[in-house]
Structure 1
Amino acid sequence: MGGFSIDRRSAIVGAGGAVLSGLASAQAAARAGGGTSGSASRPNILWLVSEDNNPFIGAYGDKIAHTPNIDRLAREGVLYRNAYSNAPVCAPTRFAILTGIYPESCGPAHQMRAKAHLPSQLRTYPEHLRSAGYFCSNNHKTDYNCDVEPERIWSDQGKTAHWRDRPDRNQPFMSVFNYMTTHESRLLTPVTGRVGPEDVRVPRYLPDTDGIRGDYATYYNLMEKMDAQVGQQLAELEEDGLDEDTIVFYYSDNGGSLPRSKRYCYDEGLRCALIVRFPEKWKHLAPGAPGSEVRAPVSFVDLVPTVLSLAGLAVPGTMQGSAFLGESAKAAQPYAFGMRNRMDERYDFVRTVTDGRYRYIRNYLPHLPAVQYQAFAWLARGYQDWDRAFRAGRLDALQSRAFEPRPAIEFYDLESDPDQLSNLAEDPGQQGRISEMSAALDAHMLRINDNGFIPEGLGLMGWAESRVPGAYPLQDIMQLAAMAAQGDPANLVLLGENMEHDHPVMRYWAAKGCAILGAAARANEERILTVMRGDDVPQLRVAAAEAAARIGHEEEAADILGALMAQSECEWVRLQAINVLTLMGEAARPALPEIKAAAESDTVYYRNAARYLSAVLDGTYDPAMEIFEWDRIMKHPKPGGE
């Protein structure tokens, strides 16, 4: 067995300790056609993908996790110690996994729940593999954040899709199985099991409450259930006699779903598990012996080039990731890059880079708190407890930090400070490393033509649109946005001049810079009011209204934002307007009629934002109130109601 565990074909232990023996072998043989894959030149590839989890896994050193099947996979394969999603949420990350392209390179794929246009020259990995003779099945989540039609790109797509449905048992396959068991939504119904609330460690940035402890315990117990599903899939592979022909990947699609993880550019939002097992037949493709680990950072945008490389296919030059296995494998990359822009109904703009030891974070909108109310996230008791404690003044400085404005730059030593509490951005001893990582991030953003600076809804956004020569002067925009984020009054003159720039994105970031400065931007009052009252790009009027409100023109800003909500045909302009009104708090009251009308909208994020703000202004808001309406957006049943 070439060093692999001798129990490769032994029974697999499930979550409850029961032994998973043969799983309907006669039926399996009938479906699979019996026997092993006849492909001698290309491996089968199996992806086992779990939802919303950090490495709460024994093989990664978690002492209370019970994940025997994933642990076994790690003993028999190669564990990637520093694996990262490209966004701390599913849809943008799944765009990257499908295409090998960063989502922010093909806007609006970088926004959570959007529909980017994928040009024909950017083929998806199942299309590449099917052209080479592979049978490709996906069971069953898609969520690709673009206009790709899943039924067109997959050989078999849906809840029953399986390698066993390939018409020829000798045909190589690429099969994907997605497990919703650990999805954020599953936290909403407490799950008892091996781990209890008293067993967990509450990170220092969270208050120690029953709700938070309960969510952590539920999460561990869901991880155990998901591990059993992984074991069952491996058992099916072995029963079909395909394990010696198949390279198996296990990974999670993004970081965890506990407070300050999913949606946030800290390690707990971006760091994932990744394990790859190679059978004896394909061990020459492995980067190390069974049970070894790789510490160099890898990123999920690298998965597509890697799969094509393992299949012996050329990696298209349009793909921005790098193969880390197979014939086309590149040298280890020094960094992994991450991002966030809009998450559901809330806007933000963060870019980050890590080498596995240090994390550099750039907040382009530092006047916003990292944690803003989001209707879906607040269904969880942990977020409710955290919010309630903050509003009651019961949090200490570390626990309340997430609800307050941020520094433009954050820098953390992940080895000595895994919870990322001590910002080393001003540490003299770290300035060389910070400069190096900042430069690497800038170079990356330019290389991929980052669309994140374009306000949502502006026609300039998109793979083709933003690449028209002269249409999107990214380097100039990046310099202005970085200056805006500094919040330095010394930049007032330049910000004011750029509010009259010919390019709308330059005007936008000049207005945002004035909003970040707040009252200190009063010297640019005339220009701010001119843009707010009459710019022909409504997104710029919203940005200028935010700046105007912060220099003392709250009533006029609220009136203009309310009018944009009532009159704009663009849902993103309306959403941007209500986000600014939310930041204004009580000063948003003149727009209350428009806010009340928006609370009845059919547009889910707009409606959720309006219902929250309406409750705040009415004095009826409570963190436990269910603003989110499950059945109007989610495609799977509400937990507990299945």
Structure 2
Amino acid sequence: MTGLSRRALLGGTLGLAGLAATAARGQSGSERPNILCLVSEDNNPYIGAYGDRLARTPHIDALAARGVLFRNAYSVAPVCAPSRFGLLTGIDPRSCSPAQHMRAQARLPEGFQTYPELLRAAGYFCINNPKTDYNCDVDPQAIWDVQGVEGHWRMTPPGQPFLCVLNTGTTHENSMCSAREGSVTPQDVRVPAFLPDTPVIRADIARYYNAMEAMDAEIGNWLAQLEADGLADDTIVIYYGDNGGVLPRSKRYCYEEGLRVPLVVHVPPRWQHLAPGMPDSVSQAPVTLLDVPASLLSIAGVPQPPQMTGKPLLGQRIGQPVTYAFGFRDRMDERYDLVRTVTDGRWRYIRNYMPHRPNGQHVAFEWAMQAAYREWNALHLAGQLTAQQDAFFQAKPFEELYDLAADPDEVNNLIGTPAAAGVAARLSRALDRHMLAINDNGFLPEGATGEGYFESRDRAVYPLRKLMTLASRAASRSPRNLSRFQRLLASPVPAIRFWAARGLLMLGAQAAPARAALLDVLSNDAVPQVRVVAAEALVGLGEAEAAVPVLIALADDPQPLPVRVQALDALTFIGEAARPALPLLQRLAAITVAPGQTDYVPRLAAYLIALLEGTYDPRADAIPAQGCAALNRSGALFMGPPPSAAWPR
């Protein structure tokens, strides 16, 4: 690693005063500002400056009082890896499949450069500490001057401006599996209308507030270090969360809780001409985290490559305000879904292309981290939820529309109400235009031919406009489309066959006239992803004897991981018909996954075994206390030394 050692950073041989003096001589007075990005994980704006009276976040509040607060800021994905792909590349993950899925390995096209590469070429010294999680084949060590837990702006060579990204994991999802003391108690919190009001759920909400309080102290620590180093007057500070929060129906879900993030920009007086507004001001415009890399390039005066679609929020060229912020959900860990959404800051429109799958699909990591999910699921299985609380575990509507001003919990779906028809139509049209503009890759089954930024632009393989129409008809679940779906099972385009089969699956028993055509697909289609969907549809038509052996074969080696996950997902949703798969499931559940490899297959197998054997207990999904402690230790991030009297003032 280049630069200073961890020992030196912590006050070793060079000493804190010497480090600060070196840093001040090196970067103070530069002709370009330094840039400090402070990034917190899994955050809704449970922050005082955003109007949350329960939050204890004095340092972020003070930063907002000196800067510009973006009230309607959103991640494009409600989970870290796709969101961080966009933050690094400036490319919407949906444009470069499989980057839109959680935990994938997309290929960044040759010749495309990430923002740190562009800034380094322009003379900036670029540091990232430590989280990457870029969801693509970029080598973090190759794109940063310093990458890892030792990274700090003090490693910048004299006379060179820096870009330093410091990530804190204190509010990450794994923080919810252990106790967290703080100012907020369970009695203090408000329970959203979609959740049952129980002591367990109240405790998790309080734990999250207290994690936010601890994270705010870390932000304050970093800002104090910057001040003590004499660099505050020459450093633009950008604070943001990488995706929405982790409380139930937040992370992984396309509601405000999953997509809305804090975003605060502070520009010191010397660089006020680069600021997005006056100090202590608020921007109401909807923005997304795709605007962050565009803004970093704009601060440095670096031209924005055409593949980066965000609008600069500050810098030498500030983009025109936009009307909408768009978001999405695709595969989250081991569970598939396909959701697209748009908001103008007042209204949120959601389109569910897989309404036959509930929001509340069991995700092993999600359930393990939070007692609140386990409690919610257990009360659902016991029949002790109201209809509003139980909606999370039921089939979804094709479309949802919420008035965020009147209904911040997003529980009153206004689709179909005459008064909201115009809003729904406007947002629906905007969503369609955006999906076409970015070449949304989401209608291509994961692992199929055609994945990739340029590959998916081949309309012979991926006729996007036709697929959007077909997927909407499938999700509408109208039997009037039966003959169309049946005819399209013979299409030469695999993605069209896939969505035709999915349309028949969602019709359920009404798809009976297509039984013979589905059996032909089951036996003869060359694309395994299409056969998975056909098999699940056939089980619903009484053809389990033919379909289940196909799903069992597709869930096993040598099939690629996406196909195996899709087959196991289908087996999960066919109920008792999956019982012949038990021998395979028992073998798969016993697999030991190598470090760094995804464990989706054993997770899916173990859960399905418990369902089939009648032993599933949501409350038993928690990881042991020692496992939680080890997980949090492994995710501990270097914060640097606390401010002290030894620092120069």
TM (norm. structure 1) is 0.93
* 1:581 to 2:576 alignment: no
Matches within 5 A, 1:161-180: 161-168=151-158, 170-180=159-169
- Partner of 1:453, secondary structure, is coil
Question: Contact 1:32–1:166 (CA<8 Å) still a contact in 2?
Answer: no
Greater alpha carbon shift after TM alignment, 360-369 vs 210-219: 210-219
Matches within 5 A, 1:258-269: 258-269=247-258
Matched with 1:414 is 404
- Partner of 2:620, secondary structure, is coil
**Counterpart-to-counterpart distance in 2, 1:174 and 1:188:** 33
**Counterpart-to-counterpart distance in 2, 1:626 and 1:409:** 32
* 1:44 to 2:34 alignment: yes
Matched with 2:288 is 299
- What do residues 564-609 of structure 1 show as CA deviations (whole Å, max 9, x unaligned)? 2235421111110110111111121122112222212335011101
Matches within 5 A, 1:631-642: 637=633
**Counterpart-to-counterpart distance in 2, 1:572 and 1:145:** 15
Q: Post-superposition shift, 1:23? A: 9.4
One-letter amino acid of the counterpart of residue 86, structure 1:
V
Q: Post-superposition shift, 1:137? A: 0.3
Question: Contact 2:174–2:632 (CA<8 Å) still a contact in 1?
Answer: no
One-letter amino acid of the counterpart of residue 146, structure 2:
D
One-letter amino acid of the counterpart of residue 441, structure 1:
L
Matched with 1:537 is 527
- What do residues 2-33 of structure 1 show as CA deviations (whole Å, max 9, x unaligned)? xxxxxxxxxxxxxxxxxxxx999951532661
State the superposition RMSD in angstroms.
2.0
**Counterpart-to-counterpart distance in 2, 1:473 and 1:42:** 46
* 1:382 to 2:369 alignment: no
**Counterpart-to-counterpart distance in 2, 1:186 and 1:397:** 30
One-letter amino acid of the counterpart of residue 379, structure 2:
A
* 1:368 to 2:357 alignment: yes
Structure 2 gap segments, 5+ residues each: 1-9, 637-649
Matched with 2:607 is 612
Matches within 5 A, 1:114-129: 114-129=104-119
Instruction: Flag as ranges the 4+ runs of structure 1 deviating above 4 A.
Output: 22-26, 627-632
Matched with 2:442 is 452
One-letter amino acid of the counterpart of residue 238, structure 2:
F
**Counterpart-to-counterpart distance in 1, 2:544 and 2:358:** 20
2:493 to 474, 497, 503: 503
One-letter amino acid of the counterpart of residue 207, structure 1:
P
Closer/same/farther in 2, CA of residues 32 and 631 from structure 1, 3 Å limit: farther
1:53 to 33, 43, 47: 43
Matched with 2:299 is 310
Matched with 2:58 is 68
Matched with 1:6 is none
* 1:397 to 2:387 alignment: yes
Matched with 1:491 is 481
One-letter amino acid of the counterpart of residue 504, structure 2:
C
- Partner of 2:157, secondary structure, is coil
Structure 1 gap segments, 5+ residues each: 1-21
**Counterpart-to-counterpart distance in 2, 1:32 and 1:258:** 43
Q: Post-superposition shift, 1:164? A: 0.4
Greater alpha carbon shift after TM alignment, 387-396 vs 29-38: 29-38
Matched with 1:332 is 321
One-letter amino acid of the counterpart of residue 601, structure 2:
Y
Closer/same/farther in 2, CA of residues 34 and 134 from structure 1, 3 Å limit: closer
Question: Contact 2:20–2:228 (CA<8 Å) still a contact in 1?
Answer: no
Matched with 2:7 is none
**Counterpart-to-counterpart distance in 2, 1:342 and 1:93:** 13
Q: Post-superposition shift, 1:631? A: 7.7
Equivalent residue pairs, number: 617
**Counterpart-to-counterpart distance in 2, 1:543 and 1:172:** 54
Matched with 2:536 is 546
* 1:102 to 2:92 alignment: yes
Matched with 2:618 is 623
Matches within 5 A, 1:585-596: 585-596=575-586
Q: Post-superposition shift, 1:120? A: 2.5
Identity of aligned residues (%): 51
Question: Contact 1:42–1:312 (CA<8 Å) still a contact in 2?
Answer: no
1:158 to 148, 167, 185: 148
Matched with 1:252 is 241
Q: Post-superposition shift, 1:167? A: 1.7
- What do residues 266-317 of structure 1 show as CA deviations (whole Å, max 9, x unaligned)? 0000000000001001112222211110000000111111110111111111
1:436 to 426, 433, 443: 426
Matched with 2:198 is 209
- What do residues 233-273 of structure 1 show as CA deviations (whole Å, max 9, x unaligned)? 00011111111111101111000001100000000000000
Q: Post-superposition shift, 1:637? A: 3.6
Question: Contact 2:127–2:146 (CA<8 Å) still a contact in 1?
Answer: yes
TM (norm. structure 2) is 0.92
